[in-house]
Every structure is written in structure tokens, then in C-alpha cells.
Amino acid sequence: MNQILSVKDLQVEFFGFKALKGVNLEVADREIVTIIGPNGAGKSTLLDAIVGKSPVAHGHVEFQEKNITNHPPHEIARMGIGRKFQNPNVYNELTVFENILLALKGSHGIFASITAKLTTMKRHKITSVLERIGLMDDAGTKVSSLSHGQKQWVEIGMVLAQDPTVILLDEPTAGMTPEETHTTGEIIKAMSEFHAVVVIEHDMEFVKQIAQRIVVLHQGQTLAEGSVEEVQNNPKVVEVYLGR
Ligand code: ADP
Ligand code: MG
């Protein structure tokens, strides 16, 4: 398979504490990789290190065969790695449509973006993003009146609006109802038609719904890797994670 993101022997330290102790991760084009593991395993730190937000002490991150280790976050975002954080980071007082508009590439701040005349191309782009996150009917709704789950989808839409090659999602279903969680799974599966997606998740039903390949992190190291069945039947995984 065609690898687009490659993490090799990655080590991250915080004041002498080794949060990542040599993690490897390969992501192919349009693949969904799910990362699971107990709290504190280093999952968020791994995504932070990929996007330049945690300093890499050793090892490297390659994106489309370029070494991007410790490059500034804005540069990594511009190159095509999009990241959604655990809590929705949306503009509550603006509409769903305006939130997506602001996230488009080449957007110049809130006032200029909202008052400027919209090109047909931008309008099409926003419409296609709204369709993908299932919020077409809420285009004109203020984000503050959406459910928590819908806000998470708006933020996924803001990532999609930037046309990333790889999308990193940190616990995208946190705080969602079971129905919203299922819908999120379908959104992510559809995303993999155009993007590679790396998802941190702990809900095993959701993992089964979306997962093609699972990586299990534990205490800053890769404990196991494989299909849902392989990982669930791995005695090491059962011991430290599933058998809690
Ligand atoms: P996970 O996302 O798997 O729950 P994290 O990646 O958030 O775990 O954290 C891994 C370990 O690194 C934890 O012990 C956490 O306390 C520590 N850690 C994460 N970020 C920082 C930071 N900025 N400063 C110090 N320690 C951190
Ligand atoms: Mg985390």
C-alpha cells in the first residue's frame, strides 16, 4: 500500500517523563487507522507530535516522504494534515455555514470572510462539506443551539473544509448519544473515500463499526496492532486494556 504518513521510533518527553517511548505508525492513503489504549497511554501525545505540537526528542515523522519532524504546526496543517481536538472548537455565535466558511483555505478572518461576496466555488465547497457532515438542513442555524454531537460534526466539517490528505480525530464521539456515535462512524467511513483518517477512540462498538486496522498504545509503546479480532484476542491487550 501507498504510505502517506510514517512515524518511526517516535519519542516524546515532558520534563524527563517519557510519554512516548519509540512508537511506529504507518498510515496508507485513504486508510482508517484506529488508536486505542488506556488513559495516559500517549494517544493524544502521538497526534500532538505528528502535528508539531509536542516536541519530538527522538525518531521522526514523514508525510508524503518529507521529514516534517518538529516543523511548526501551521506549516504541517498547510501541508495537508488536519486535526480535530477532543473538545469542539467552534464559533458558537455564528451559523453552521459561517463556521465552515471561516475554515476554508484562504479565509481572512471573521469579518472579511462573512462580508465578502461568496464565489460560486466557495458556496459549492461549503455545501459539499455540509452534506458530508449531515448538516445541510442546519446551514443557517447558530452553532450555540446545536447539540453537542452536532457541534462535533461542525468541527469535523471545519477540518474537511481545508482539504487535508490526512485527518486526525481525537475521541470524536466523546459525549455523544449512541445514535450520534453511529452517525459519526458513517461520516468517518465516508471520509475515507478521499482522506486517510486516524481516530483515537475507546468505544469498542464504534471501533468495530469503523476500524480497518487498530493500533493499541500502552504506557507510551505499541502493545499490539491488527484487525479487531486480532487485537481483541491478543492476551497482552486483554490483560492491560480490554480486561479492565
Ligand atoms: P492519552 O491521550 O492516551 O490518554 P496523553 O497522550 O494525553 O494520553 O498523555 C500521555 C502521558 O503524558 C500522560 O501521563 C500525561 O500526563 C503526559 N502528558 C501529556 N501531555 C503533557 C504535557 N504537556 N506536559 C506534561 N505531561 C504531559
Ligand atoms: Mg487523550
CATH number of the domain at 242, please: 3.40.50.300
Q: For 226-243, what is the mean pLDDT?
A: 86
Question: Is 127 within 8 Å of 134 (Cβ atoms)?
Answer: no
Percent of the chain with pLDDT over 70: 92
pLDDT of residue 211: 84
- Give tens-digit pLDDT for 117-168: 788 889 999 999 999 999 999 999 999 999 999 999 999 999 999 999 999 9
- For 28, the 3-state DSSP assignment is strand
Those residues whose C-beta lies under 8 Å from the C-beta of residue 14, and which sit 6 or more positions away, are none
Whether residues 72 and 99 share a domain: the answer is: no
Q: How crowded is residue 214: how many other Cβ atoms within 10 Å of its Cβ?
A: 27
Ligand 1 center–CA 241 separation, angstroms: 17
Which residue in 167, 215, 159 sits closest to 33, CA to CA? 215
pLDDT of residue 111: 66
Whether residues 29 and 8 share a domain: the answer is: yes
| 48 has a pLDDT exceeding 60 | yes
pLDDT of residue 218: 95
Q: How confident is the model at residue 209 (pLDDT cuts 50, 70, 90)?
A: very high
pLDDT of residue 185: 97
Q: How confident is the model at residue 28 (pLDDT cuts 50, 70, 90)?
A: very high
Which residue in 61, 63, 58, 75 sits closest to 11, CA to CA? 58
Those residues whose C-beta lies under 8 Å from the C-beta of residue 116, and which sit 6 or more positions away, are 108
Q: Which ligand is nearest to the CA of 53?
A: 1
Whether residues 185 and 243 share a domain: the answer is: yes
Residue nearest to atom 23 of ligand 1 (CA): 14
Whether residues 138 and 149 share a domain: the answer is: yes
Whether residues 34 and 63 share a domain: the answer is: yes
Pocket of ligand 1 (CB under 6 A): 14, 19, 37, 39-45
Whether residues 120 and 101 share a domain: the answer is: yes
| 243 has a pLDDT exceeding 60 | no
| 17 has a pLDDT exceeding 90 | yes
Give the whole-angstrom CA distance, residue 50 versus residue 60: 9
pLDDT of residue 1: 62
Give the whole-angstrom CA distance, residue 9 versus residue 6: 10
Whether residues 25 and 142 share a domain: the answer is: no
Question: Which atom of ligand 1 is closest in space to residue 17's alpha carbon?
Answer: 26
Pairing mode, if any, of strands 166-170 and 196-200?
parallel
Of the residues 130, 163, 196, which one is the last residue of a structural domain?
Answer: 163
Of the residues 163, 195, 227, which one is the last residue of a structural domain?
Answer: 163
pLDDT of residue 242: 53
Q: What are phi and psi of 115, to 5 degrees?
A: -90, -20
All three cell numbers of 109, joined, read 478572518
Residue type, position 34, single letter: T
Domain, as residue range, for 170: 1-80+164-244
Give the whole-angstrom CA distance, residue 188 versus residue 169: 10
Q: For 54-78, what is the mean pLDDT?
A: 96
Of the residues 163, 185, 213, which one is the last residue of a structural domain?
Answer: 163
| 240 has a pLDDT exceeding 90 | no
Whether residues 54 and 169 share a domain: the answer is: yes
Question: What interface predicted TM-score (ipTM) does this complex get?
Answer: 0.98
Whether residues 169 and 228 share a domain: the answer is: yes
Over the chain, what is the mean pLDDT? 92
Whether residues 169 and 216 share a domain: the answer is: yes
Ligand 2 center–CA 215 separation, angstroms: 14
pLDDT of residue 13: 97
| 38 has a pLDDT exceeding 90 | yes
Residue nearest to atom 6 of ligand 1 (CA): 42
Q: Which residue has the higher pLDDT, 239 or 182?
A: 182
Whether residues 107 and 224 share a domain: the answer is: no
* CA angle 198–202–205, rounded 5-degree value: 95
Q: Read off the pTM.
A: 0.93
* Number of structural domains in the chain: 2
Whether residues 195 and 243 share a domain: the answer is: yes
Pairing mode, if any, of strands 17-28 and 3-14?
antiparallel
